[in-house]
């Protein structure tokens, strides 16, 4: 029944014309708003998918059975796996040390979340990589946990550099301690911060703790020599082959 039907019919039908037109317009407004909402949702999904597929960190979800149910494609940059290689697999097969997984679960059970938790993962090529993990429970009904959701960040380079620095420091400390020269580190005021075994032996100290309250100025036969050394170091940045006469304590 169209608008023309109301014109050729009775006054009763004519009175219903405005209502019918309003219903048609309302239906079209609803359809237009629905189409706009669907288009906005589609655009939002495209944006989310773009972010998900191009994010630098790795997003993941694990269910109650510790099975990987979702993981972002960025995992290939960290571990060499394609996303489909891991979905449906136990997360524990991905860990280098299962104790780290159990420790993480303990922290998660206690605090409800973990931040910057360091773990080691096995890559597809068999290498071991350090990652930083953030995670929290996925809440369900009646306080039931549905699994774990979180992210991974590659910290392997940072970790390796830290290990190399620590190794270099240990090597330097070993060299310092066993050097046949009397090596020491001292403040401008004369406080001895550190010294090696040769220094202790040369100046008749029994142990390093004996040097803690000792002013190195007391080892100079001529106190003016130390003042001159400090002056030259401040001026030149260093001194070499500078002859000084010391005395034992």
pLDDT single digits (tens) 160-215: 887 778 888 888 888 889 999 999 999 989 999 999 999 999 999 999 999 988 89
- Give the per-residue pLDDT at 119: 94
- Give the per-residue pLDDT at 132: 94
98 pLDDT band, cuts 50/70/90, is: very high
- pLDDT of residue 6 exceeding 60, the answer is no
May I ask the CATH architecture of the domain 55-160? 2-Layer Sandwich (3.30)
Q: Kindly list the domain boundaries of the chain, sorted by start residue.
A: 3-52, 55-160, 180-249
- Give the per-residue pLDDT at 147: 92
40 pLDDT band, cuts 50/70/90, is: low
Which of 15-24, 114-123, 156-165 bottoms out in mean pLDDT, i.e. has the lowest?
15-24
Predicted TM-score of the model (pTM): 0.54
- pLDDT of residue 60 exceeding 70, the answer is yes
121 pLDDT band, cuts 50/70/90, is: very high
Got the DSSP string for the chain? --HHHHHSS-HHHHHTHHHHHHHHHHHHHHHHHHHHHHHHHHHHHHHHHHHHHH-SSEEEEEETTSBEEEE-TTHHHHHS--HHHHTTSBGGGGBS-HHHHHHHHHHHHHHSEEEEEEEEEE-TTS-EEEEEEEEEEEE-GGG-EEEEEEEEEE-HHHHHHHHHHHHHHHHHHHHHHH-SS--EEE-TTSBEEEE-HHHHHHTT-SSGGGGTT-BGGGGBSSHHHHHHHHHHHHHHS---S----B---
């Amino acid at each position: 029944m169209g608008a023309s039907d109301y014109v050729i019919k009775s006054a009763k039908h004519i009175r219903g014309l405005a209502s019918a037109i309003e219903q048609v317009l309302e239906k079209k407004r609803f359809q237009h708003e629905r189409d706009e909402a669907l288009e906005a949702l589609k655009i939002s999904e495209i944006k989310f998918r773009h972010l998900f597929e191009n994010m630098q960190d790795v997003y993941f979800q694990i269910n109650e059975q510790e099975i990987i149910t979702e993981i972002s494609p960025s995992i290939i940059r960290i571990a060499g796996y394609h996303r489909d290689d891991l979905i449906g697999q136990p997360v524990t097969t991905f860990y280098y040390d299962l104790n780290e997984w159990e420790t993480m679960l303990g922290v998660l059970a206690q605090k409800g979340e973990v931040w910057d938790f360091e773990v080691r993962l096995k890559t597809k090529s068999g290498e071991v990589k350090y990652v930083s993990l953030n995670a929290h429970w996925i809440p369900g009904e009646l306080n039931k946990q549905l699994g774990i959701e979180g992210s991974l960040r590659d910290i392997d380079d940072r970790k390796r550099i830290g290990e190399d620095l620590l190794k270099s420091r240990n090597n330097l400390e070993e060299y310092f301690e066993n050097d046949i020269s009397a090596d020491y580190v001292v403040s401008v005021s004369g406080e001895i911060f550190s010294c090696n075994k040769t220094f202790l032996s040369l100046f008749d100290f029994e142990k390093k703790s004996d040097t803690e309250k000792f002013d190195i100025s007391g080892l100079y036969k001529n106190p003016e020599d130390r003042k001159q050394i400090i002056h030259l170091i401040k001026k030149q940045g260093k001194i070499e082959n500078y002859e000084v006469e010391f005395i034992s304590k």
